Every structure is written in structure tokens, then in C-alpha cells.
A and B are shown apart, each in its own frame.
Chain A
Amino acid sequence: MSSRVWYIGGTDQEYRAWVDMGAPVARLSDDALDETRGAAWVIEGTVGPLASKRRRLQRLSGLGYAHILTAANTATLAAQTRWMGSTVRLIGYDPLLVMAQGSVQTLVSSRPDDTEGLQGLFPGRRWHEVADQVGLVFSREILPIINEAAAFAAQGLTSAEIDQAMRLGLNYPRGPFAWAEVFGWDSVYWGLRAMEDMYGPRFRPHPWIRHQIGSSLIEREDGACEK
């Protein structure tokens, strides 16, 4: 097995964040998945409709990986396990917390030695196991802040004003728009959509955010995303 960690399906921002976390992570397109056969660690970070993620995970299920670290902020690990079958060892993580470069990372796992494995792979980070719920902890905290801030942008305040107010008023490390730039607006939108689906309309993405990622965005039945 190769010691390399393969990153599949996510965003440039997230890929760079994994690299910054110090593990030998390499990015791979879907066309080259055969190269990853039998890998010890694969990170799956699809951003978009769940159908896209499900389709990609199903493709990965026959490649004999030892571990798949899968973004679990938009779909529970239980759901992903059902999609893939129980023979594949899945560990859930929060991609937004990775992009935030949090010193404490969250994981969802059914095996105690997974924490140890991740700590070995990404030295300098502590991994806390949390319950298998959409949003995990960080996404559920940060995305509604961005969503609220979007309402003020829609009312004419500039992103710079809003960011400055949140930093100076509450000592936030970044303003909501600076966070959104770190994550990418697609990740913001789909993270909110998943939580809206799970917890209700309080997470509905503000139209201003929808506008950021393409005002005519339509989800097709096959799960692809049109802009």
C-alpha cells in the first residue's frame, strides 16, 4: 500500500488545506481512480448535491481502500455507509473545519483506533469524535453566521463593513465573508442546504448566497448541478 493520501472530488481550497495540514496528500481526478486501488487512505470531499456524492462513493467502493475519510457535514456517515456497503471503512470529517485549519478536528467513526490513525497522519491536530449528525459542530456554527451576514449584504452593507463589524464587535478571527472565501461559496451553499434538509428552514440559504453561486442554479434529477 502507498503511504500517499489521495484527495478526490472536493475543492481547490480544501485540497490546499489538507496539504497545509502536513500529510502527503495528492489530488486525483475521477478519470484516474484506478491509480488509487488499494490505497491506505483516500479523502473524499465532494461538494454538491448528495446524488453526486453517492455516485462517487459507489465508484470508490470496489477499489479496496483501507480507509475512506469522507466529508460528513452534508450527509451522515450512516447514510454514506448504506450507499457504499459495510465492507468499506468510512470515517467522517468536517471539510469546513479542515479549511479553517482548526487545531481540533472532528471525526465520526465507529472504531476507536481511527482517532489514533488520523493523529498519526496529521500531526499537530487533535481529533475529537462527535455524533453522526449533519453539520457536525463547526459547519453548524459557522454557516448560519454567514447566512445571516448575507441578509445584511442584500440590504446594501458591504462585505468589508460586515466583516469588520464582526471582528471588532466580537473579536471573531475572520468576518463571515472572509470565512466564506476560505470555504468557497459552493461549500457554503451546499452545507446550508444539507442542514436545511435535516433541521428545517432556519438553515435555508439566503437568496444572496444563491446568487453568489449562480442565480439560475438548478439541481437536475441526476444530481448534477447546472449554473
Chain B
Amino acid sequence: MPTVIIGSGTMGSGIAEVIVARGGSAVLVDPDASARERAQVRIAKNLSRSFEKGRLAERAEDCLARLEMSGTAPVDGVEWVIEAVPENVQLKQRLFGELDAQYPETVWLASNTSSIAIGRLQSRTRHPERVGGLHFFNPVPRMQLVEIIRGLETSEDYLAAARTLTERLGKTSVVVPDRPGFLVNRVARSYYLEALRMVDEGEAPMAVVDEIMEGAGFPMGPFRVMDLVGVDVNLSVTQSVYEQTYYDERYRPHPWQEDLVERGYWGRKSGRGFYRYE
């Protein structure tokens, strides 16, 4: 049975890539034809590279034969629908209302949201027990973890099915409560926020903070991570956690992030973030 993935951005295409690379079939849905085209090129390139490097036993063409790109989501013969549209609560709520109406109640509906409460998505469905989170990490083909998020009304059957799916994809899963930021993003917030505060207070320059954390074994210091994932993305997750915790000061975003985002200094992708990459 194909897995339907809604949204062909970095996360959606990454999930589709992993599914077809692991022998499954996927339908990647995006109403934007040019976005679909870009996603297909990206997936094909990644699969070819994996095959060349020996990480994939099957040729890219054979994997791609199991990938369908579509402007609309098929309904028949589907077991899972995974949503990976932009992190906008209204957009996701509307989508889950539509998916719930469109698909029989035996179809599992998952959101790949990194910070929006699953309960808010369940609230727009008639069958909230078949709705939960499947939070993949970027880049999906390389990152091993999937957070399975248990919303207020998510059923045990959903959790079991989600575990089976993630195992099939070669991933390790952990079931986490539907708390703002879930587990990983929540626990990691202070890594960024305290670094911003320390530099702002003159404790140490940012390059020194990065060096100290990398010297202790972290693959990247906090500023380098923010530049890699995007200063804008990091700020958006922090804002979401801050708002959903009713403005708990632990998660208060730092004005420095806002300043960089306003100026378009979004990190590596824009050539400048906390560091310059030109």
C-alpha cells in the first residue's frame, strides 16, 4: 500500500525518499507543479548518490518507479497519510479536517509537525484516535530518530502502527507526549537560548561558545547549529514553544534572533547568519 505524503518540501521529499529507498511505495502530493518537479529532481539525485556510495542496494531508477508525484491525494488503497506542509497551525488544521473527511477511519493520519500540538489538529477531526505525530528529523535519510507523538486522543493502535511503520523505514522511534516542542526540540531549546543570552551578556564570544561545546563532543556549537538549520526556523520553533507554554520565560526568544531574521540573515542558506558564509 502506498504511503501518501502531503507537501513536497525538504521534509516531505525526505520522507518519500526514505520510503522508496526501503522498498515501499509513496505518493508525494503537492498542488504546486514546480515544487513537485524540484522534489523529484532532489530525490532522484539523492538516491543516485546513495547507490553510488553503496548505501543503497537498489538502483535509483528502480526506487523511483515506486514514487508517484501527484497534484491531488489518492484515497483508495492507502494505509498512511503523512502531512508535511509548512508549520502553520491554520493550514494544518484545515488540512486535517479535509483528510479526516476524505479518508476512511482505518487510514492513519500523521503530522510531521515539529512544534504544533497534535491535540490542535485532532480537534478538527471526527476520528481523532487515528491522528498522531510522526516527527522526522532533517535530513530525513540520515537522521535515525522519529518521534511518535501521542495526542490527547491518539489510540494505542495508532502508536503500534506507527512503530511498525518507522521500523519498516529503518528508523528508531520514541513515543513522546504532546507537549510544546515534543521531546527533542523542547529539551534542546536552552542549548540555543542560553548561548544567545551568554554572548549578549559578554560571558564569551560566540565562536568561543561554539568551540567549548564542540570540544566537549557536540558535533556543532549552538550558533553553528542555528546557522545550519536556519535562524528563521530556529526562531519559529522557539516562538511556538514560548507561546504554547503561555510564555514560560525559559523559552523566551532572544531579540538577536529576531534581528537577524528581519535582516534576512537566516544562516547558511542565505549566506549569512551568526557567521558569514560568502
Q: Which residues of A contact B (CB under 8 A)?
A: 97, 100-106, 126, 128, 130-131, 133, 135-138, 140-142, 144-145, 147-149, 152, 155, 157, 161-162, 164-166, 168-174, 176, 200-202
Contacts and interface: CB of A to CB of B under 8 A. Distances in A.
Contacts of A161: 174
Given A106-B212, A202-B249, 16 more contacts: A100-B216, A102-B216, A105-B215, A128-B204, A130-B208, A137-B204, A148-B189, A152-B177, A157-B176, A162-B174, A164-B145, A165-B147, A165-B176, A166-B187, A168-B145, A173-B217
Contacts of A136: 203
A146 to B, nearest CB: 9
Nearest to A161: B174
Highest count of chain A CB atoms <10 Å: which of B179, B187, B219:
B187
A103 B215 contact: yes
B190 A102 contact: no
B147 A200 contact: no
Interface stretch (B72-80, B103-111, B191-199): B191-199
B270 interface: no
B191 A145 contact: yes
Contacts of A162: 174, 183, 187
Highest count of chain B CB atoms <10 Å: which of A136, A148, A161:
A148
Contact of A140 (B174, B179, B198): B198
A100 B215 CA distance: 9
Contacts of B172: 164, 168
Interface string B199-216: 001111000110111111
Given A169-B184, A202-B249, A133 B212 contact: no
Interface string B168-185: 000010101101000110
A17 B177 CA distance: 36
A55 B201 CA distance: 30
Given A104-B212, A144-B250, A133 B187 contact: no
A201 B189 CA distance: 16
B188 A130 contact: no
Highest count of chain B CB atoms <10 Å: which of A149, A157, A168:
A168
Nearest to A156: B177
A137 B201 contact: no
A168 B216 CA distance: 17
B222 interface: yes
Given A140-B198, A164-B174, A169 B147 contact: yes
B186 interface: yes
Nearest to A148: B187
Contacts of B190: 141, 144-145, 147-148
B218 interface: yes
Nearest to A160: B174
Interface string B58-88: 0000000000000000000000000000000
